Structure 1
């Protein structure tokens, strides 16, 4: 068995060492142009040349949950594409999402601004019933976020393409229920996969359906949001603010209007990072399962885009 590693923007050697330990009898190499054919690949942001030179791969394992960039490449029909289904990311995402929601709900950003100005201030406590939270996308990450929010007694709604049932969460599904879902929320957390159907889904019309004083937390992909529409809704006062961790162009360009907007909190795509040891363990188990002819969780449906 030959495993090849192609992880742009990451050091490949620790990945190589980890898989060599997991499969001591296998050949594990870092891909270089012209390299021999491999059976399995572990990739992040590979170039098109990689797949052009590796048409016989049995499977390519993406070291992240989102595969939208990978699906833009030409990949042989016989190559399975498998994403990480957790590997330590869901708890990080839940931490980040709950922090963003609570920071807004408790007006901690306002207190922080007052303290910087040397002011000792008071704000009337808000009622949780007035701040229903919606989670768009109820996969592994979205479900973990939705469940975490119920612990803090927020009314929690969820929306997904197909029906889901989660204890403590009012679940909506399909295009027919999208508007009702959005209208029921004051805080919206986006964890959708990016597909042609979901690109630009957060726009003037859809975000305008949120309850007045709405708040957006985008943790999925920047292309879900129409930037100009979000800024217009913030400036009009319909939206009270946003926490944005992902952007159409990353790093976020220095001249972009998000940087200095008083109602926007920007973070550098850090809501959930890939944990290497957990990822290697998960991928190794999946490679072993495929070798035994078994199915694995996280295989991507190319038609759906996730």
Structure 2
């Protein structure tokens, strides 16, 4: 019974050390070294190997090394193979930090002041209290709820939207496509934390932006394929949106000359909002292995019918 890691080798070295300390009875391998393929029971990867079923016939659990799974072709994985997202505390804490930073940056007009600094333009703009800035989150999973919980402490009026009905204290919750426009019309800063599915692909488009009040802004920390790049540029150029913080794009990295690189109303970061932390990731993986062996529910188990 062995564990195979196929992702960033630098972090893999940390996983090796942690497995040796916490689970010395489980042989640990870093791709492309696999040990005996027949012995591999557990695999953690950002992108899985090809022909996974034939290559590792006794595989029992497949872990994503990230919080999302849209980089996988689920149809290429054995249908009976459990797929587990990395719902570990380090990912959650990192996203809460980044989303809070981004909301505050837009709330306090940071893109404008960065641009003014480059122009040597000393000009103050009115400061609005958080209680007057309505923040809404698309996606009410673990990350979305954690972000809302932190933003609540800052005094923002909060709303959230998900495919199915949720109830969250202090948050006006909306559900389903029919209720999305109502939330958008009451939103000043929109945070996208949706999973990527066929239903959410391209959701951040001109139609959605038109439902937002003039002067609203966007924090995009979901997946790159949620966002229509041209629609965002058009909305910013028209003054309909006032600013955006974008951490995920499609493609990644952006090509040279892409308008996001130098746009005065966009703060762009290279998909760093949240990263898996080896210490807490290994703890979660080992807990799930224990749960699997005991026949208990897995933390972060993917529902293939939903795609997340």
For this structure pair, what is the TM-score category when the shorter chain's length is used for normalisation? over 0.9
Q: In the alignment, which residue of structure 2 is the partner of 1:143? A: 145
Distance 1:230 1:111, change over 3 A: closer
The structural deviation recorded for 1:139 is 0.8
SS of alignment partner, residue 19 of structure 1: helix
Distance 1:231 1:72, change over 3 A: farther
Q: In the alignment, which residue of structure 1 is the partner of 2:31? A: 31
Deviation string for 1:10-55 (max 9, x for gaps)? 5533323322332222222223378512111111223324454124
Q: Is the 8 A contact 2:96 2:146 kept in 1?
A: yes
Separation (CA, whole Å) in 1 of partners of 2:75 and 2:256: 29
Q: Is the 8 A contact 2:41 2:61 kept in 1?
A: yes
Q: Does 268-277 or 5-14 show the bigger shift?
A: 5-14
After superposition, the CA RMSD in angstroms is 1.9
Distance 1:95 1:107, change over 3 A: same
Aligned pair 1:48/2:58, yes or no? Answer: no
Choose from 125, 128, 132 the match for 1:126. 128
Aligned pair 1:300/2:297, yes or no? Answer: no
SS of alignment partner, residue 88 of structure 2: coil
Distance 1:283 1:277, change over 3 A: same
Q: Scaled by the length of structure 2, what TM-score is found?
A: 0.93
Q: How does 1:106-121 map to 2 (within 5 A)?
A: 106-121=108-123
SS of alignment partner, residue 231 of structure 1: helix
Q: Is the 8 A contact 1:141 1:191 kept in 2?
A: yes
Q: In the alignment, which residue of structure 1 is the partner of 2:238? A: 236
Choose from 170, 173, 191 the match for 1:171. 173
Distance 1:76 1:9, change over 3 A: same
Q: Does 277-286 or 81-90 show the bigger shift?
A: 81-90
SS of alignment partner, residue 110 of structure 1: helix
Distance 1:54 1:73, change over 3 A: farther
The structural deviation recorded for 1:123 is 2.0
The structural deviation recorded for 1:210 is 0.7
SS of alignment partner, residue 87 of structure 2: coil
Q: In the alignment, which residue of structure 2 is the partner of 1:6? A: 6
Deviation string for 1:242-279 (max 9, x for gaps)? 11000001112122111111111100111111111110
Q: Scaled by the length of structure 1, what TM-score is found?
A: 0.93
Q: In the alignment, which residue of structure 2 is the partner of 1:15? A: 15
Separation (CA, whole Å) in 2 of partners of 1:204 and 1:9: 40
Distance 1:63 1:286, change over 3 A: same
Pairs aligned (count)? 306
Q: Does 61-70 or 47-56 show the bigger shift?
A: 47-56
SS of alignment partner, residue 298 of structure 2: coil
Q: Is the 8 A contact 1:3 1:27 kept in 2?
A: yes
Separation (CA, whole Å) in 1 of partners of 2:193 and 2:109: 23
The structural deviation recorded for 1:179 is 1.3
The structural deviation recorded for 1:229 is 1.1
Q: Is the 8 A contact 1:71 1:302 kept in 2?
A: no
Separation (CA, whole Å) in 1 of partners of 2:11 and 2:142: 27
